[in-house]
């Protein structure tokens, strides 16, 4: 491309505003539009929505037709709840989609919805790609690490963190937090909410050349021993304060890929397993390989707390993928299809 890629930012929540900030900082990307779900954001300058120092002149809008008319090359799609209708409209209009919103392979969608997405990609000659920190970067590291083994028995990825400062109450409640552990259907709610991890497990198996014949999900809860007020939600004593779950892929009776989480929230919760405060990537085989990804503050970090680092870590595997996804063939592409996605070398031009 001999010009910057024209990009729309879709919503500016925890992840989306980090994506927006990164788009504004890259000379090879040009922000052309911002979609806002919340009425209070409509009409605001993109700069105000992401803490950019100078006005951009790009105002957030809820007018999808106006956004499609911009002729964007790509959309960084980071809503809380993804919508197949929105995705199809974008793809059909020829806008390549990079998303953090519960999409890796599309495998958890109904066959009808998946077919709609595929057809939208065909009609618009467009591509959809999903990533993030976990799922996303963690699976990529697992796949790469397996390349060090003569024999691979299992790739296992575990997000092992305290997520008390991750202000997404809708997500956390659906993951079981603040609910009584004997709430009917709780394990199924957690499975459904985290099903994108199963997609990422299937992607890793596919990259290993294995066809999975079964996916299973197991989960255990620990309860809080006191009340915690996190500001955006409370974790009352006796409700779920810790969740350990795995989506496991099986082939020939063997558990070959596992993707899960060991999460804790609130002051009075005991994690189901000791926390590693990072992403634990394990490849069992010959040899066993293990690494823990920690997301650490740079010297110039001035934000209170470190949750913002995790948001950047989640947003960037998606935003940095824009040029790769624009260049990819139409359809659904995954991390197993794209070349290594690098970050932007600060201070360099297009
Ligand atoms: N792969 C990973 O590593 C990873 C990690 C964390 C999160 N995620 C996913 O990334 C996405 C964004 O997460 P987040 O933490 O940024 O979410 P969030 O801040 O809670 O919400 C994102 C935005 O969604 C819009 N929104 C809020 N309520 C909505 C509703 N009821 N219907 C439609 N849109 C609504 C709002 O847009 P406005 O800003 O326009 O009002 C909000 O700012 C989620 O799908 C999440 O599951 C992925």
Q: Is the pLDDT of residue 350 over 70?
A: no
Q: What distance in Å separates the CA atoms of residue 189 and residue 192, rounded to the nearest whole number?
A: 5
Q: Is the pLDDT of residue 348 over 80?
A: no
Q: Of 82, 53, 56, 58, which is closest to residue 72 (Cα–Cα)?
A: 58
Q: Of 233, 234, 258, 212, which is closest to residue 107 (Cα–Cα)?
A: 212
Beta strands of 55-150 (E only): which ranges?
Answer: 60-61, 74-77, 96-99, 127-130
pLDDT digits (tens, 9 = 90+) for 122-144: 999 999 999 999 999 999 999 99
Nearest alpha carbon, ligand 1 atom 41: 38
Q: Can you tell me which atom of ligand 1 is nearest the CA of 16?
A: 16
100 CB within 6 A, ligand 1:
yes
36 CB within 6 A, ligand 1:
yes
15 CB within 6 A, ligand 1:
yes
41 CB within 6 A, ligand 1:
yes
Q: Is the pLDDT of residue 27 over 90?
A: yes
Q: Is the pLDDT of residue 349 over 70?
A: no
For residue 121, what are the CA distances in angstroms to 35, 319, 338? 21, 19, 17
Confidence (pLDDT) at 187:
97
Per cent of the chain over pLDDT 90 is: 93
213 three-class SS: coil
DSSP for 22-67, please give it. Answer: HHHH-TTEEEEEEE-SSGGGTT-BHHHHHT-SS--SPBEE--HHHH
132 CB within 6 A, ligand 1:
yes
Specify the pTM. Answer: 0.95
pLDDT digits (tens, 9 = 90+) for 97-110: 999 999 999 999 99
Q: Which helix H or strand E contains 151, and what residues bound it?
A: strand 151-162
Ligand 1 centroid distance, CA of 295 (Å): 21
CA dihedral of 200, 203, 208, 211, whole degrees rounded to 10: 110
Q: Is the pLDDT of residue 167 over 90?
A: no
Ligand 1 centroid distance, CA of 254 (Å): 35
pLDDT digits (tens, 9 = 90+) for 66-83: 999 999 999 999 999 999
Q: Can you tell me which atom of ligand 1 is nearest the CA of 60?
A: 40
Q: What distance in Å separates the CA atoms of residue 243 and residue 222, rounded to the nearest whole number?
A: 7
| Domain ranges across the chain | 5-131+321-333, 134-303
Say if residues 270 and 222 touch (Cβ distance below 8 Å).
yes
272 CB within 6 A, ligand 1:
no
The backbone torsions φ and ψ at residue 165, rounded to the nearest 5 degrees and listed phi first, read -105, 10
pLDDT digits (tens, 9 = 90+) for 185-228: 999 999 999 999 999 999 999 999 999 999 999 999 999 999 99
pLDDT digits (tens, 9 = 90+) for 32-55: 999 999 999 999 999 999 999 999
* Domain 5-131+321-333 in this protein, CATH class: alpha beta
Confidence (pLDDT) at 179:
96
Q: Mean pLDDT over all residues of the chain?
A: 96
Confidence (pLDDT) at 346:
81
79 CB within 6 A, ligand 1:
yes
pLDDT band (50, 70, 90) for residue 347: confident
Nearest alpha carbon, ligand 1 atom 4: 132
Say if residues 57 and 79 touch (Cβ distance below 8 Å).
no
Q: Can you tell me which atom of ligand 1 is nearest the CA of 137?
A: 3
19 CB within 6 A, ligand 1:
no
8, 35, 37, 81: which to mutate for ligand 1, most atoms within 8 A of CB?
Answer: 37
Rounded mean pLDDT, 274-291: 97
CA pseudo-torsion sign 90, 95, 99, 105: positive
pLDDT digits (tens, 9 = 90+) for 202-214: 999 999 999 999 9
Confidence (pLDDT) at 165:
87
């Amino acid at each position: 491309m001999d010009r910057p890629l024209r990009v729309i930012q879709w919503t500016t929540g925890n992840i989306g505003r980090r994506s927006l900030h990164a788009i504004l900082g890259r000379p090879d990307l040009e922000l052309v539009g911002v979609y806002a779900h919340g009425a209070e954001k409509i009409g605001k300058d993109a700069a105000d929505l992401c803490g950019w120092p100078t006005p951009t002149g790009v105002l957030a809008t809820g007018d999808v037709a106006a956004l499609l008319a911009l002729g964007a090359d790509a959309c960084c799609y980071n809503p809380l709840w993804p919508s197949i209708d929105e995705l199809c409209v974008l793809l059909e209009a020829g806008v390549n989609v990079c998303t953090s919103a519960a999409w890796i392979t599309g495998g958890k969608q109904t066959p009808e919805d998946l077919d709609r997405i595929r057809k939208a990609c065909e009609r618009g000659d467009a591509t959809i790609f999903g990533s993030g920190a976990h799922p996303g970067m963690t699976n990529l590291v697992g796949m790469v690490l397996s390349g060090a083994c003569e024999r691979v028995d299992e790739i296992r990825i575990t997000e092992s963190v305290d997520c008390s400062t991750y202000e997404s109450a809708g997500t956390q409640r659906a993951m079981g937090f603040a609910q009584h552990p004997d709430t009917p259907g709780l394990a199924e709610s957690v499975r459904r909410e985290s099903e994108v991890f199963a997609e990422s497990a299937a992607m890793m198996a596919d990259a290993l050349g294995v066809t999975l014949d079964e996916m299973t999900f197991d989960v255990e809860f620990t309860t809080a021993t006191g009340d915690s007020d996190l500001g955006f939600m409370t974790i009352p004593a006796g409700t779920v304060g810790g969740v350990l779950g795995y989506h496991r892929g099986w082939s020939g009776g063997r558990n070959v890929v596992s993707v899960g989480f060991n999460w804790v929230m609130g002051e009075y919760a005991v994690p189901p397993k000791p926390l590693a405060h990072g992403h634990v990537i394990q490849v069992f085989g010959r040899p066993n390989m293990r690494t823990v990804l920690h997301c650490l503050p740079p010297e110039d970090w001035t934000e209170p707390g470190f949750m913002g680092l995790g948001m950047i870590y989640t947003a960037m595997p998606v935003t940095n993928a824009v040029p790769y996804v624009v260049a990819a063939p139409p359809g659904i592409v995954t991390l197993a299809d794209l070349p290594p996605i690098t970050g932007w070398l600060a201070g360099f031009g297009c």
